[in-house]
Amino acid sequence: MPGEHVDVAVHLTRKRFDEAHIKSLLTTSEQRVTPPCPHFGHCGGCDLQHLNVDAQRAHKRDVVRDLFARQGITLKDIGSIQGDDQGYRRRARLGVKVDSQGNTRLGFRAAHSHRLVDIERCPVLVDSLQQLLTPLRELLESLDAPRQVGHIELLATATTQVVLVRQLKEHSQDAERWQAFAQHQVALGTWLGRDTPHCTGIAQRLCWKSR
């Protein structure tokens, strides 16, 4: 962070710059805080939780200002960013993986990696999506063919929670389990196949837009 001094180890030297990793912090910024999420640093979903809220908002304003400046547009005043520091994210894409021991994992990808970080909770998700994580995990563990689930997308709207399931192949008994899950909790859509998916439920609109 700006103002901090660190001890680093260079692990790759390039023509114009070096790549290094931090060995230790020598001085710490007053803006640095303890990340509220236990998965921070492993999960690739968030990368600013080590900043306090005001510093996060200032960073985001600077990013927007820089993006416009690259297009030759100068922003005099972006204004303040409002909202909660947690429980604000209304959309998420969760990976699903069954490991060699048969354990089902549900979570986000690690930064710059395909490795899946298994999560129990996500503090930045709105509460309605947060409450779906445990039931979804339990449902996945009950499926006959959980390896056929590629990923799950969650969306919180003003009236309901949407669950979009990317299914590699259809499994009739598992489809019934998904439908039973959706009857009382969510609006369900399925996206079947890889290259040319067949979509059902609310996913039909998403498929149509992708073509």
Is a pLDDT exceeding 70 seen at residue 199?
no
Nearest to 124 by CA among 84, 153, 151: 84
Beta pairing, strands 161-167 & 187-192: parallel
Topology of the domain comprising 91-210: OB fold (Dihydrolipoamide Acetyltransferase, E2P) (2.40.50)
Q: Write the pLDDT tens digit of every residue in 52-90.
A: 988 988 888 889 999 999 999 988 777 777 777 788 889
> Where do you find CATH 2.40.50.1070 in the chain?
91-210
Contact predicate 195/169, CB 8 Å: no
Q: Write the pLDDT tens digit of every residue in 118-173.
A: 988 898 999 999 999 999 999 999 999 999 998 999 999 888 888 888 888 888 88
CA angle 97, 87, 61 (to 5 degrees): 105
The pTM assigned to this predicted structure is: 0.75
Average pLDDT, the chain: 85
pLDDT band at 7 (very low <50, low <70, confident <90, very high): very high
Question: What's the pLDDT at 196?
Answer: 52
Q: Write the pLDDT tens digit of every residue in 97-106.
A: 998 888 889 9
